[in-house]
Amino acid sequence: MREIYLDNAATTRVLPEVAEICVKTMQQAYGNPSSLHHKGFEAEQYVRDARKTIADSLKVPEDTIVFTSGGTESNNMALLCGADARKRQGNHIITTRIEHASVYNPILRLKDLGYRVTFLEVDNNGIVRPETLAEALDDETILVSIMAVNNEIGAVEPIAELAKLTHERVPHVLFHTDAIQAYGKIPMFPKRMGIDLMSVSGHKLHAPKGTGFLYIRDKNLLKPLIYGGGQQKDLRSGTENVPGIAGLGTAVKSWFANADSNREHMYMLKERFALAMEEVPGAIVNGIFTEENLPLAERIRKTAPHVISVSFAGVRSEVLLHALEENGVYVSSGSACSSNHPAISGTLKAIGVDDKLLDCTLRFSFSFETTEEEIDAASAALKELVPILGKYRRS
């Protein structure tokens, strides 16, 4: 049976050239990058090359990139260290109701430590309105964290506008964005956009799991989260994961060589899938600006290209997920990280999805590798399965 993988927001297949460079560095460039001999320099060069590739993709200086073990560490480092670095200037933190758990939970920890937290509401499309942020900012605000792209519905936040507003109102505030679902999918240029801290995960972009980075506008903005041998200019101690970093750099280079065409391809798939959902009984696509009088293609392009959320009235998401799996189609019922602690999606609640649909929603997410034929096959499976499963709905 053919497999159709539509869960790329959870993780992506490692590219062949990425796997190749990882094996090469493990077997040949195996030195410690901190060592002073040739093998150490050889390993260090892979780290430097990856850092340059990533910095070039963001149009920022190389010394602003700190490698981490992934998006969760990057978010924790930005939030916990950012709050600690600014604690003499205030104790107020602002975030949103739709953040990923790797932002939401560290902020809850900061709240437990005595910080005052404001959770911003979003509109029905998952967008933070500037006036909402403006009302929340005050002289005690030290940190604002707003994700660039929502991982469940693909909402694209006006990050540049929000960052500018933040810095104009309260200049000392650190503005952080979780760009884990945004990097490579939409243009992200943190220096131009006024972003102080930006988190990225490698495995969302065909790099190995356990890789990622944090953009830090100025190393003096943060104190370290991990102490030790002083690697990465004292910001993140520990021997660098050379194979993972080399793989990440290779994945970034491959992706950004075709970033525009990748984006167009995924937007085409998303529109194709959304159109097909109009033929599925009870299907409702979430967060695509349905209240605006615009053609579907234009509404789709106001969102991220690779994520689409669909509610299927009367069919539980878990039941439909496994029915699709039996047909070789792999999707998600929400954030992959949240599946370890299942709960009703805060994002869906925040955008006003009907209570009856909260556990009837699936997330479909694409890659540049996803084909039109796969979209059509998945759509056909849904057209067949949803009416059947709907007959067994709970009263």
User: How many angstroms separate the Cα of 285 from the Cα of each of 142, 214, 273?
Assistant: 37, 33, 10
Kindly give, in sequence order, each residue whose CB lies less than 8 Å from that of residue 340, ignoring residues fewer than 6 positions away. none
Number of Cβ within 10 Å of residue 5's Cβ equals 20
Distance of CA 294 to the CA centre of its chain: 27
pLDDT at 241: 96
Per-residue pLDDT tens for 5-33?
999 999 999 999 999 999 999 999 999 99
* Region for 195 from its dihedrals, namely left if φ exceeds 0, alpha if ψ lies in -120 to 50, beta otherwise: beta
Q: Does domain 16-256 bear CATH number 3.40.640.10? A: yes
Q: How far apart are CA 220 and CA 19, in angstroms?
A: 35
Per-residue pLDDT tens for 280-291?
999 999 999 877
Per-residue pLDDT tens for 192-225?
999 999 999 999 999 999 999 999 999 889 989 8
The CATH number fitting domain 4-12+258-390, selected from 3.90.1150.10, 3.40.50.1820, 2.60.120.10, 3.90.950.10: 3.90.1150.10
Q: What is the mean pLDDT of residues 290-307?
A: 91
pLDDT at 291: 75
Catalytic, 337? Answer yes
- Let me know if 354 is exposed, middle or buried by CB neighbors in 10 A (0-12, 13-18, 19+): exposed
Q: What is the mean pLDDT of the chain?
A: 94
Task: Please identify which residue in the block is written with the tokens 């878990």.
Answer: 318
The CATH 3.40.640.10 domain(s) of the chain lie at 16-256
Q: How far apart are CA 252 and CA 20, in angstroms?
A: 15
Q: What is the mean pLDDT of residues 297-322?
A: 96
The CATH 3.90.1150.10 domain(s) of the chain lie at 4-12+258-390
The phi and psi torsions of 106 (rounded to 5 degrees) equal: -60, -35
User: How many angstroms separate the Cα of 173 from the Cα of each of 65, 245, 284?
Assistant: 20, 30, 39
Q: What is the secondary structure of 204-270 as a DSSP string?
A: GTTSPTT-EEEEES-GGG---SS-SS-TTTTTS-S---HHHHHHHHHHHHHHHTTHHHHHHHHHHHH
Per-residue pLDDT tens for 131-152?
999 999 999 999 999 999 999 9
Which tokens sit at 282? 């009870």
Nearest to 100 by CA among 61, 138, 71: 71
- Evaluate whether 249 touches 48 at the Cβ level (below 8 Å): no
